[in-house]
Structure 1
Amino acid sequence: MPDPSTYRPAPGTIPELPGVYRFRDPTGRVIYVGKAKSLRQRLNSYFADPWSLHARTQQMVTTAASVDWVTVNTEVEALQLEYQWIKEYDPRFNVRYRDDKSYPYLAVTLDEEYPRLQVMRGAKRKGVRYFGPYSHAWAIRETLDLLLRVFPARTCRPGVFKQARQHQRPCLLGYIDKCSAPCVGRVSAEEHRQIALEFCDFMGGRTDAMVKRLEKDMHAAAEELEFEKAARLRDDLTALRRAMEKQAVVFGDGTDADVVAFADDQLEAAVQVFRVRGGRIRGQRGWVVEKTEDVTFGDLVHQFCSQVYGGERGEADIPREVLVPELPADVDALAEWLSGQRGARVQIRVPQRGDKKALADTVRRNAEEALVRHKLHRAGDLTTRSQALDELAEALTLETAPLRIECYDVSQIQGTDVVASMVVFEDGLPRKSEYRRFAITGATDDVSAISEVLRRRFARYKAETGDEQGQPIDPETGRPRKFAYPPQLLVVDGGAPQVAAAAQTLADAGINDLAVVGLAKRLEEVWVPAEEFPVILPRSSQGLYLLQRVRDEAHRFAITYHRQKRSSRMTVSALDQVPGLGEVRRKALMRHFGSLKRLSGATVEEITEVPGIGRRTAEAILAALGATPPPQPAAPEPAGPQPAAPGVEHK
């Protein structure tokens, strides 16, 4: 593994100018491309103490063997060069926006004598108007089917069009009035082009003028007693309105914008984009990208704008506004570069309120759901789960595939509220009925906590399987005992120290036939007891993905229990200030009211209903919780004359 200090540039040789830099591996292949406003400041950050870097960045600098750079005049030029190099070298450590499919567009070939409406994929060409992208080609055909009645433009292939001109007979669409049949001369080339341009205006958002014109023509035909023409226009108007209903208006001001949102975890990020044109949602796209370095949402916005909008393919799709969840550090340069690509001003901003903020929240929820679907896709596939278990058995030299995996994680804050979790996966799927959680009292760090948890878990295992029955099924209830089944693979969240502690605890318990590994978050290394170096699974390995999912589930379960315990401790500590209120009466109060919030909102009379709580104690409880007891009603004045005060004479 290369040492970053061996290829660090000499002090003072890195210029303080904007530019683009490349990290290369020992074979000379470019593995990372980045841009910087100051090359010296940015590159020096990579050669700090490697252990202070993020795990992904640390992996990149230890994989690289050299670094070089090119200086430019402005950040805008750096953006352009960065895009070109990423496209040319395809570096493995850069975030890459790659679709798993080619999205279709609704295209109007205005570069032809008789423009054609059709579904198009792939690279765009000049002279063609594109609308979309759409999620599915059938959505485009459904839209066309509604609009061809109003805009009967040509949709046939060149061969069909040529054959119809030769035979002077239109196709079926020409007979049912869904094509103006320019092939047989029903309309001239100029008239047909006008129909195609009106279609483009409608798809571009100019719908109100079109509807008003059709309504006016329909009423005029009815007044002139041309009822068949009026009926045809009425049907056209209905079709037009149905097409408009399928394109919901989200912005009433006719905004052209792309709304971008992200959802991420430590390894991947899901990206969702809603394309709004003329105030209407025209299309949606999504990616799931691998985070090969430590990136923020601002960094993801930079990567998204430079890769998706860069080059010839992105030029026609750049909107006036790009709404993002977080602004990148180079937002001004990025906006200037996109403005140059579009030929008009482009704004990049974060929506704060109103309809745009509401749509941004919707896109964010879609991104979160997309990330969950992506992670569950592999987990729900039987073939993939079998492959993952087989890969683990091969990598860890197990005799059989680990059908039952247990994972342990510890959660604490500086040695307080120490808890641990045990999650169980059987056949690659979580078995939540087998989850267990532990409150740790005698340990203050992760290593000692892991030892205590495993000692308690396997002591219960030996007790439940070592009785006279020796069976994992309880004969009285007919249900499995809680700790009666041992795992084939035991995973701890951590590196070599945690694995060593787990292995020693099992050895002390006399259990020597159980595989133990640790999964370290730093570089996703799999540590095995008594091994100097970890097992490195490929990042595309299904076995590594399964281990990561087990580890993340154990972490989630542990942190949830930790928060519950910490909240309960803080609740009880607020009542500790009340003199004379012991543990028994505190528990009675919480049992009666259920929460501290309900207790603080109760009256003195309601609190005194709890056995053992008097009025003075109830008032002290409300005072400790910061709640003022309600004022007591004043005693009614007695009827009749009152005795006069001394020195005062009644008259």
Structure 2
Amino acid sequence: MEEGSDYNFAKRKGTFASLHPWVYIMKDSQGMIIYVGKAKNLKRRVQSYFQQSKNHPQKIIKLVHNIKDFDYILTDTEFEAFMLECKLIRERKPLFNKMMKSPQAYNYIVFEMNQSFRTFEITSTKHERDGRIYFGPYPSKNRVEQAIFGIKESFKILCSSNKKSNSPCLNYSLGLCMGMCRGGPAIKEYNKILDNIISLLSGRDMSILEEMKKRMAAASENFDFETAAKYRDRIEAISFLIKKGKVLDFTEKNKNIVVLENLSEETYKLFLIKRHQILFSEKFTAENVAVEEHATRIKNYFKQDVLSPNREVSKDEIDQAQIIYRYLKGSHCSYFVIPEKWLLKKTNASLEKALIKLLNHKSPQLS
């Protein structure tokens, strides 16, 4: 790509070794982008590909063999480097960025509720209006499988019978199935556990997680460290699902977010964020701050936004959504959320007041 293109690729001599957030783009002999990455110390990162090559995995060895050209972009913040890297990988689908290239990396947990004997499983596809309950998408199938298996094993709902013929399955004899396959009262208890799992994934009821923590503590007190470690791994996998659920919920609410990050003692970067996108960004100094002008500009940008409200997060959006969520919950920035009613008002008084607090590092994180 030429300098001045959409991504402003530039080879800046003399700044290559500086400690700044960078995005680097590797190309093959045909000019195709084969890998996109990010680094704070670009010189050290680039050198790492070509030094001690015998210790590299085959993927890196093959990548280095195919590199014929190299571009890099300097960004103001690490957050921008993350977002640009994600955008380039999603749009260009480089050969060596396989993790974000494959849609199969994302999975859902689906509950079938139309039967007296409910079921739930992992799926890579979601069908609209099919009467089932979906959670996700989640970016790690392995973590999802680990969490689901852990819940089933812990609460003895690991039934190995596909047909409920009122006869015990093999896992019943092993103590892994409470006997749903036999019918009767066990089905009612089983369905109650599934309701609790749905509440857990919805973030409404953490009782399943708390019960597993108690069992882990009890196993540890009894010096049964193997069982305690098993519960620890299950809890971590379930916590992963809950955390990703919070990201999805936060993103789907389609908040109007104003973010401020300090670049130096006198310089700031202002971001306007909605859903999984940066709508606007600007760098300014403390001396030239015009709060009223900023407030008007912010209102105009959010009012012009055409993103659909309260839409579910798709697989294509999940990476950017996670980056934004981590950034906002981290310590590198201050932010607040603009209520929709502020955008409908003729005056900017409420928005100006919130901006002044933000510039004074009070960060009124309004809901």
* TM tier relative to shorter chain: 0.3 to 0.5
TM-score by length of 1: 0.22
TM-score by length of 2: 0.36
> Greater Rg, structure 1 or structure 2?
1
Q: Which has the higher contact order (CA 8 A, sep 6+)?
A: 2
